Chains A and B, each alone.
Chain A
């Protein structure tokens, strides 16, 4: 069974059908690219998958369960987390706290244990502090743990957002243009990191990226959408030769 499967998923904003008949399958541990021209509906697909928008048509199955209608936080509990195209960090909090917050739904100690600082509080707080630091280390950000998030350079803010999404313990991670605004060197490093976390955490990743070369380089499979509809799915090789894809990119 596929980890995630969408069936004729779609949404209309007023008269505009931003996404329609969107069909996609993601298997466990797969790294998939989602590409398409500007305004094609890529971010809207993310918003549908994460419960930010309620689809007006179709269904989303995660491990066979239809998750349409679930709240965003419930979908996180079910195993889908994401980053945002225009970074959404907890800007005035430390880098470490940004990550710690994402551990919240996996933590167990009660409000009373927190207020009265019972054993469970100290134990779990210590655990997540260590886990959060480990995650930051993966992104080589351990030295910025106490920096206020908004003071990080742009590239690091993007990395922090990925670290935070990982902290929430996903089975499927959605990355919305994670390399936007990075220089080629940073982008290369980031792609290596994405590959690495996929293997280390054994998760599936769906990646939106504008840079075709880049997506072709790291993804096993690519889904192309235009005007909200899937126009092609296949390996990078297949996509490169697909007439519809070439049309969509050159025809604009």
Chain B
């Protein structure tokens, strides 16, 4: 297992190296707080995209309510952190985990319609689900209703987002390449065949939805302690679509594709600052262009691997999940 050890070393070294470089650039002022904010948002978008990819890309269920889970995580984490006295880092971690757990609980509940519906119907139900969450938040007292929730502690830092993002990616990577991940992917490939080889499709659908919701909640918690003000409008259906666009752009069932696309989609609107209203139009054009020229996503079926790049070795085949397009 020499190559396993080598791959681990290369990955760990580069993760730390990138971190050290970025922190140095921040400390020395080359990256000002504006750009640091963009980096934080990148991390949050990566977590959102990677988690949605589990439900939509790997499990193969089109869902349009991811922003709803993010909202639950954001509000729950913010409300918790405002009521508890604790040092910053543990407070942030506990808050986002609470947000994640609450989102996971709702993801678990939402999995119920998932057993009954598929395709377009499921997309519409999840969209409705996301909207219901938003409307509930809008009408509760504890969330500040339409005025929003302000005075949230600034607990999210570049460092915390960086490491939470890395841990999230690592968890999704190993999950997808385990027997549980294979079970999830088999449902996308052929649900009937999946049952016919002994996989409880009900269990794994619930599982994938719950995990996806958990990490959307985590992203929400980081977001809350970064923006410091929450407005139900931030979690509307457009937000869900934005996350879906990242997943489609990066390729359904492609982890590194999601990461790359999340980075691009975070930067893109900044470059188009003057054209704020044009965002959706540009996304649409981007999507249409993708469908026409690269329907499998930016990277297609390829997963980017630093190890492969540096060691110059052919990646062992094995269970890298590959799938071009959601073919229904």
Contacts and interface: CB of A to CB of B under 8 A. Distances in A.
B317 A146 contact: yes
A10 B271 CA distance: 66
A178 B197 CA distance: 17
Interface residues of A, number: 44
B164 to A, nearest CB: 15
Given A90-B193, A115-B171, A101 B186 contact: yes
Given A93-B185, A96-B317, A115-B174, A72 B196 contact: yes
B220 interface: no
28 contacts: A72-B192, A73-B198, A73-B199, A76-B196, A84-B196, A90-B189, A90-B194, A91-B189, A93-B322, A96-B317, A96-B319, A100-B182, A101-B194, A104-B183, A109-B178, A109-B179, A111-B178, A111-B180, A114-B174, A115-B171, A115-B178, A124-B179, A125-B179, A145-B317, A146-B317, A148-B322, A164-B197, A168-B197
Interface of B: 1, 171, 174-175, 178-183, 185-186, 189-190, 192-202, 207, 317-319, 321-324
A105 B199 contact: yes
A73 to B, nearest CB: 5
A96 B194 CA distance: 15
- Interface SS of B by simple majority: helix
Interface in A73-114: 73, 76-77, 81-82, 84, 88-94, 96-97, 100-107, 109, 111, 114
Contacts of B178: 109, 111, 114-115, 121
B189 A92 contact: yes
A101 B182 contact: yes
B189 A104 contact: no
Contact of B182 (A81, A97, A164): A97
A146 B314 CA distance: 13
B171 A88 contact: no
B183 A81 contact: no
Nearest to B317: A146
Contacts of A168: 197-198
A101 B183 contact: yes
Interface of A: 50, 52, 71-73, 76-77, 81-82, 84, 88-94, 96-97, 100-107, 109, 111, 114-117, 121-122, 124-125, 145-146, 148, 164-165, 167-168
A101 B323 contact: no
A165 B179 contact: no
B78 to A, nearest CB: 28
B131 to A, nearest CB: 31
B313 to A, nearest CB: 15
Contacts of B324: 92
Contact of A92 (B171, B174, B318, B323): B323
Nearest to A102: B197
Contacts of B181: 114
Given A91-B189, A101-B186, 7 more contacts: A71-B195, A71-B202, A81-B196, A81-B198, A92-B322, A104-B183, A115-B174
A76 B186 CA distance: 16
A114 B198 contact: no
A88 B190 contact: yes
B297 to A, nearest CB: 14
Contacts of B179: 100, 103-104, 107, 109, 114, 124-125
Contacts of A92: 189, 322-324
Contacts of A121: 178
Contacts of A72: 192, 195-196
Contacts of B190: 88-91
A111 B172 CA distance: 12
Contacts of B192: 52, 72, 84, 88
A50 B196 contact: yes
